[in-house]
Structure 1
Amino acid sequence: MSGECYINYPDLDLKNYPAAYWGENLARLQQIKAAVDPENFFHHAQSVPLKT
């Protein structure tokens, strides 16, 4: 946790939620997401975003 959010609390007001939730782990999580869910089937308002 980066210290900018609470664990397991979906805060829809966070402007940069990926950085707040996953910090330096975001790039690795995006690689995994692209490998296992390239069509982004499993998503919600604050899920790991696919790289654009």
Structure 2
Amino acid sequence: MGKKAQTIGVRLDDEMLAALQRLADAEGEPMAVIIRRALRQYLAACEQAGRQPD
């Protein structure tokens, strides 16, 4: 069975949204895929550094 997903609310400014859209367009992926990938990388880096995410 897969992992349980949780929905979170995140506020992004126009500059961040535009940057994510450019990255998504460049990689040919939906923006949600880009955001999930970035969050996974961030959480892994926090875990490796032995600290809690902000």
TM-score range (shorter-chain normalised) is 0.3 to 0.5
**Which of 1 and 2 has higher RCO (CA within 8 Å, sep 6+)?**
1
State the TM-score, normalizing by the size of structure 2: 0.31
State the TM-score, normalizing by the size of structure 1: 0.32
Rg larger in structure: 2
The structure richer in helix per residue is: 2
